[in-house]
Structure 1
């Protein structure tokens, strides 16, 4: 039998990610095959999930993905695991529009129970009406238990447990605060990965010391074990070779996108930081990441920059997203104001100075293709006023936004991380 549950919270900063990482690692340490998932478009948490569970994590999203596609993705990976742990996004019912795309919507669609983690550092019995509201707001969302986080004493926990008893939700215990398991800032980049292994192990030990994780499994959904070899649709013979950038600077990919590409193409990975030769390929994919942290190395590799520019001039198809788009510009300006030359395919510059967050779901209308993605960045573009956009872009609320899709010959670049794994046929925007 396999088990599945979703870790959610009433509000952000409750400890969902720390709990997910610690619980995933603990079960992995016990010999379980653990599959982690992340609700929403986040491609950073999935990297850390994969580290914790020792297995690549998968995104689940009801905005970017058609409902049946998302269900199929979950069932395919769940069938091959012993325990599936889904981390929610923001508060339980927080979605792009009302509760659309929320943890609750995904839990309901997948029919899996929710384990709530509550930041109770400043809470006592008043948590009772909050829990009551979460339990009754949508009865189809099954709250199977509560874990209270940042609780220092048994006397404090007594009030919280009484609240659970009043509301009729099982209390699964409490976790005291521990500075050693605090997750570092996500925008520090992958150079914090060497710290994460130690943090995850400490989180696993700390959580298991205070919470009975075998008992937690009793509150999850049980699935009969089935043949995990669910067929993945292919488009026949692999007709393409696609070079995919993969190193410290280019890491933000959706695993299902790469799996989709593998059904139509041979994938060759390369490093714009270290490699001196660009693989021969029909297409190049430059995903997002942290190019601003590696501007010196990227700029210093003039051989690779020149080869990518030459490939663009020859008409090779290139798709660049966010950090990949920055790499194709003329320069990247770091926070100190130093400009580093990049590939020079586009005349614009991107800068990390005067940072301002831009984020949200994006629907892209390109020719006869509708494709969804997500925008998340702090950098800004300059010197692009004379570059037209080749697509219309809308928010989840159907409001047109100014985010541009740039084109040079067969090169397409934008700040948007696209999700194309649900496409039925290969699209010009993707290959």
Structure 2
């Protein structure tokens, strides 16, 4: 069997149109019979949901800050299995990483030895695009910029000026996409909205595919892809939370990394899923309950009325099941949630914590985490934090000691009562290196 090939979609900065162009590429190539498997650089829940819908194959996260090189290569290899191509959407600007200067799209492209196609927002510039492209192409020897896609081109005259400028760099231009108001995805406080919330999502993707098909040379694009050819060493997954794990999964608990579940299944754990919004209980024989992150603040009234769900959590606690909540799940384990309007909603009451989003303040960043509690994971972990809510809690043992990406100390995170625990951190992998 021939090796799958891969490409990375990068950009000089956020907002250049990487996601929309990647969605269009996934759909346009799929329509031409090319099996493309999607991936997203970095810690992101929402973009992978879009990519998976467009490709009709589940997307995976490849996070070069939180994940070890062995994990990244193993995930890339598994994700590419059975596909003609692995297409990786980058994050932020090509060389933008964490505060410690690690974890960029360029780091991932260099590790996987894949070429980068640079999506350049062409609004409000013409000939100046040449030094921009040349600078990105020559900034780091181990990162290969194989081609450029011009985005948001204003007119035929504008396109000619841009193409002439890019030609002087020697970097192939794969196409120029005109400006279109129809290629805008609405946003929410944590980023893009989920694909199920975008009216006529399939119509949106179909339009992106038409634009890509009409304005990008797809044959030249495919020729740039490089084989995924590396000797993959097994990466040890994070151990499962229990032998029988009940996992909340619905619109309020949508933020969950697939590689964690895959690792737990490989370790022999039995996974079941339930919907708190539908007032479902976790399985009665589970020995662990996982409440992942999401948007509980958008569904606080329904969660407050979900007496069966809350009773199921209490029953799980009484039989000494491990109950673990991340970010939104941590909020739901608390006593109350104050929504954007200032209304207070009763939550599960398993931790003496009140969270509120009526006074939003953005908190985000990578986290080095250390714990010594009941979590069956290594003591040192890698993760990230991204939320606008805040927590007020009684004095409790914290779940994690934490530092930021630079290693600077941060306040302890989360709370623990017995085998009930949670924090705002999203755990990605065991610490490495």
Task: Give 1:267's match in structure 2, choosing from 249, 262, 271.
Answer: 271
Q: Report matched runs for 1:119-268 at 5 Å.
A: 119-187=121-189, 188-189=193-194, 192-222=197-227, 240-263=243-266, 264-268=268-272
Unaligned runs of 5+ in 1: 425-431
Q: Report matched runs for 1:419-430 at 5 Å.
A: 419-420=428-429
Q: What is the alpha-carbon distance in structure 1 between the residues aligned to residue 352 and residue 228 of structure 2?
A: 54
Task: Give 2:381's match in structure 1, choosing from 371, 375, 378.
Answer: 371
Match of 1:106 in 2: 108
Residue 166 of structure 1 deviates from its aligned partner by 1.4
State the secondary structure of the residue aligned to 1:309. Answer: helix
8 Å contact 2:70–2:234 — kept in the other structure? no
Cα 1:195–1:290, aligned 2, differ >3 Å: closer, same or farther? Answer: farther
Residue 231 of structure 1 deviates from its aligned partner by 8.3
Structure 1, residues 222-264: CA drift from partner, whole Å, max 9, x if none? Answer: 458x9x9x98979999981100111111110111001111123
Q: Report matched runs for 1:355-394 at 5 Å.
A: 355-367=360-372, 369-382=379-392, 384-394=393-403
Q: What is the alpha-carbon distance in structure 2 between the residues aligned to residue 423 and residue 94 of structure 1?
A: 21
* More displaced stretch, 320-329 vs 158-167: 158-167
Residue 311 of structure 1 deviates from its aligned partner by 1.9
Q: CA RMSD in A?
A: 2.4
Residue 134 of structure 1 deviates from its aligned partner by 1.0
8 Å contact 2:238–2:260 — kept in the other structure? no
8 Å contact 1:4–1:83 — kept in the other structure? yes
Task: Give 1:416's match in structure 2, choosing from 393, 406, 425.
Answer: 425
Match of 1:16 in 2: 18
Task: Give 2:339's match in structure 1, choosing from 324, 330, 334.
Answer: 334
Residue 61 of structure 1 deviates from its aligned partner by 1.2
State the secondary structure of the residue aligned to 1:389. Answer: coil
8 Å contact 1:18–1:181 — kept in the other structure? yes
Cα 1:234–1:166, aligned 2, differ >3 Å: closer, same or farther? Answer: closer
Task: Give 1:47's match in structure 2, choosing from 46, 49, 58.
Answer: 49
* More displaced stretch, 188-197 vs 91-100: 188-197
Unaligned runs of 5+ in 2: 373-377
TM-score by length of 1: 0.91
TM-score by length of 2: 0.91
8 Å contact 2:247–2:289 — kept in the other structure? yes
Runs of 4 or more above 4 Å deviation: 186-191, 230-239
8 Å contact 2:121–2:150 — kept in the other structure? yes
8 Å contact 2:12–2:94 — kept in the other structure? yes
State the secondary structure of the residue aligned to 2:52. Answer: helix
Cα 1:238–1:167, aligned 2, differ >3 Å: closer, same or farther? Answer: closer
